Amino acid sequence: MTFKIDVREDGVPVRWTATDRGATATPDPDYRPAVLVAAREDRTRYLDWLADELAPDPKVAALERVARRRDLRADEPSPMLRVELDRLGECRQLAREVRARELDAHPPGTLSLYDVDLDPQFRYCLDTGADPLPDRRFERVDLSVPDAALAEGDLSALAVDGDPAGGSERGACRRVERVLDAADPDVLVLSSAELVPLLAERGVDLGRRPGYRTLAGASTYTSYGRVGHSPARYDVPGRVVVDRRSSFLLDEAGFAGLRYLVARAGKPLQELARDSIGGVLTAIEVREARGRGVPAPWQKRQTEDWKSVDRLHAADRGGFTFQPEAGVHGDVHELDFASLYPNVIREYGVSPDTVGCDCHDTTDVPELGYSLCERDGFLGDVLGPLLDDRSAWKDQHRADDCTPTERRRLDAKIDAVKWVLVSCFGYQGYRHAKFGRIEVHEAINAVARELMLTAKEAVEAAGWRVVHGIVDSLWVTADPDRDQRPVGEVAAEVTDEVGIALEHEGRFDWVAFCPRKRASGAALTRYFGRWADESVAASGATADDRYKFRGIEARQRSSAEFVAAAQRDLVATFDRERDAAAVVERLRTHLRTLRRGSVPPADLAIRQRVSKRADEYEGATRARAALERAADLGLERHPGQSVTYVVADDDRSGPERVRLAFEVDDGACAGGGYDTEFYADRLVRACESVVSPLGWDEGQVRRFLRDGRDATLSSFVG
């Protein structure tokens, strides 16, 4: 199977096919990529004009009139001009030239272009039908270098598959060469793709053939107000390069999940591993659309349908929310709709080609009155296999004979699909989504809200009281003034009524909802609770997993591990005592540990994503100090990347305010200690989150610590 496609300097693609003894390379000089161009229905004659314009272009290998559907809602194909090109990398250049010619000669919007911005390896597989997944496991080697050594171009600290490679640059390079010869890997997993040019400078070729290519330089971008960074990308002949820094999916889904998505999307591993979740979903959609005779649009111009003020007001709403009551609630059951939004798409036929169709004049979507076509929707066909596979894997995971190794493999695939399913709803409202429509986004929300209200009414009719609800989950407890029917029985009835499984996630002995700091009521997403023993046993979890945390410091990625661990311990005290004073007294233990200097500085490291260069920060922030320190140490950090640091002296404003993570060890902070009072403040805030459902705020915590009180003996128990 063709797991990798290289492109030679002359533009000829080379297919690398996995064999029992490695891989073989096969050039494909006859392959020609193609771009499609359509004209407005009343101006198809402009395709003849364009053909005459492009005929002399040396990039163009052939021109052909073909018929394709312009979009998912088109009943009949439209005439298009198929422009074949000599080289695989020239599609975007041609598209830009066509757009410039159009603007010079015709009104904007006269021409539409398709199949322009497909990744090269993905395009090749789509056009030729090549299967990008080998029928054997990927052989892989992991190469890593610490950030500090990488910044200095020092390969002496290089590790191969986690083991030190030799202690010197020469020894490390020889070790890499020996491992590559012995293992002949298909995949190189690199801590940074910068290892490719660094090793090449030392005479080490990472590919199955000599040399490497730079695919793209490093870049910074902004998406929905969030700054991101894309590191430089490199390619080596005959091997897949996976950069851990730019592969969200590798961290979240592992190789088992990546293999599954390669098979589902038909996209080779190197391109898929660096994709965003939206990119993976788009690849699956492009493949499905290609099978329906619909090419992938470029620079989609589809606009939002006209809406009255009333309809716009109804449409511009999010998911269902039920304001919880701050405090502690006992004996609470959690009910969740299984993959609610994806299942709404499939079970209710909500799709770009079905919402507001021309063949129906009905009001199928609650509140909004949109019609829904009865035909099978495109988006449901895209997501259906993912939903079915994930459900089957969950059943296998729950089976008594499922081994730990198999559970880990299933977890990876379940997580891979979860991320695609999570993104499919929001992606419909993304203006650049190739097959998205804002009306689909609105319709999914409207149907989901109706289903949540149906579930809410059903559990209340059965004698239960809803204490919280958000998007696809309900938390219910018994109404003391009424008799209750079994909650599982009610969930099964709702499932039968709405066609989407309402699952009994489990029972909590108690759940504590944290109050909002600047408004009344509880926060929607800040709570913690203890699963009942039977729910822990049913899930196969350990005793350490009996608590559920959402939104508090123990779940925040920016929290230092020491603070997160202390908060988990405070929750255990809360569970034993249900008394704020006992929890705060337990806090003293962690404060004493901190002030004795007994905390390993590595456990105090804070990871923060930076959005600017150091000189762009107006204030003297910790992020700025970390960036300045990184620069002083020769470590380049760009907007969109993360810095990890320990606060050394929070009263200072320059690079001495922090120490970077690689500067600290388990004994001391290089160049000085950590700022005890800064981390003490973080501990107090974490404690406040735990005691706030009992009515205490930060001021009361600090007063108790200052004044001193007696507490129960068990608050000292570890």
CA distance 631 to 137: 41
Q: Model confidence at 709, in pLDDT bands (50, 70, 90)?
A: low
pLDDT at 661 over 80: yes
pLDDT at 153: 87
pLDDT at 226: 66
Q: Model confidence at 270, in pLDDT bands (50, 70, 90)?
A: very high
CA distance 616 to 220: 14
Please report, as a single letter, which amino acid is at residue 592.
R
Q: Which two tokens stand for residue 576?
A: 């034993």
Question: Helices 404-427 & 340-347, crossing angle to 10 degrees?
Answer: 70
pLDDT at 714 over 60: no
- pLDDT per residue over 52-65, tens digit each? 999 999 999 999 99
> Cα–Cα distances in Å, from 84 out to 11, 37, 115, 135?
14, 11, 11, 32
Q: Side-chain half-sphere of 185: how many Cα atoms within 13 Å? A: 22
pLDDT at 423: 87
> Is the Cβ–Cβ distance between 467 and 511 less than 8 Å?
yes
Phi then psi for residue 360, to 5 deg, are -135, 145
Residue 222: is it exposed, middle or buried by C-beta count within 10 angstroms (0-12/13-18/19+)? Answer: exposed
CA distance 504 to 525: 20
Share of the chain above pLDDT 90, in %: 70
Closest CA to 352 of 418, 265, 276, 444: 444
| Cβ neighbour number for residue 32 with a 10 Å cutoff | 17
Mean pLDDT of 569-586: 96
Maximum Cα–Cα distance across the chain: 91
What CA dihedral angle connects 7, 8, 12 and 14, to 10 degrees? -60
- pLDDT per residue over 213-264, tens digit each? 999 887 776 665 667 667 889 999 999 999 998 888 998 899 999 999 999 9
| Domain residue ranges in the chain | 32-116, 132-291, 321-547, 552-599+678-716, 601-673
Total length of the chain = 718
Task: Give DSSP secondary structure letters for 372-431.
Answer: B-SSPPHHHHHHHHHHHHHHHHHHHHHSTT--HHHHHHHHHHHHHHHHHHHHHHHHTT-T
Which residues, 6 or more positions from 107, have their beta carbon under 8 angstroms from its beta carbon? none
pLDDT at 540: 59
Q: Which two tokens stand for residue 327?
A: 């405090």
> Is the Cβ–Cβ distance between 227 and 255 less than 8 Å?
no
- pLDDT per residue over 392-427, tens digit each? 999 999 888 999 999 999 999 999 999 999 888 888
pLDDT at 542: 62
Residues paired with residue 27 on neighbouring β-strands, in sequence order: 14
> Is the Cβ–Cβ distance between 45 and 35 less than 8 Å?
no
| Cβ neighbour number for residue 313 with a 10 Å cutoff | 11
pLDDT at 642 over 80: yes
> Is the Cβ–Cβ distance between 63 and 78 less than 8 Å?
no
pLDDT at 241: 96
Closest CA to 450 of 314, 355, 306: 314
* Helix (H), strand (E) at residue 216: strand 213-216
pLDDT at 573 over 80: yes
The reported pTM is 0.90
pLDDT at 375: 83
pLDDT at 287 over 90: yes
pLDDT at 711: 47
Q: Model confidence at 520, in pLDDT bands (50, 70, 90)?
A: confident
Q: Which two tokens stand for residue 634?
A: 């020769």
The two domains 32-116 and 601-673 share their CATH topology (first three levels equal)? no
CA distance 162 to 3: 25
* Helix (H), strand (E) at residue 198: helix 195-201
- pLDDT per residue over 83-123, tens digit each? 999 998 899 999 999 999 988 888 888 899 999 999 999 99
> Is the Cβ–Cβ distance between 437 and 302 less than 8 Å?
yes
Mean pLDDT of 570-590: 96
Q: Model confidence at 166, in pLDDT bands (50, 70, 90)?
A: confident
Q: Which CATH number fits domain 32-116: 3.40.50, 3.30.310, 1.10.260, 3.30.70?
A: 3.30.70
- Range with lowest mean pLDDT among 125-134, 558-567, 703-712: 703-712
pLDDT at 447: 95
- pLDDT per residue over 476-491, tens digit each? 999 999 999 999 999 9
pLDDT at 716 over 50: no
pLDDT at 645: 94
Q: Model confidence at 672, in pLDDT bands (50, 70, 90)?
A: very low
Q: Model confidence at 615, in pLDDT bands (50, 70, 90)?
A: confident
pLDDT at 534 over 60: yes
CA distance 166 to 156: 7
CATH 3.40.50.2300, applies to 321-547 = no
Radius of gyration of the chain (CA): 29
- What is the assigned CATH class of domain 601-673? alpha beta
pLDDT at 666 over 90: no
Share of the chain above pLDDT 70, in %: 95
pLDDT at 718 over 60: no
pLDDT at 669: 47
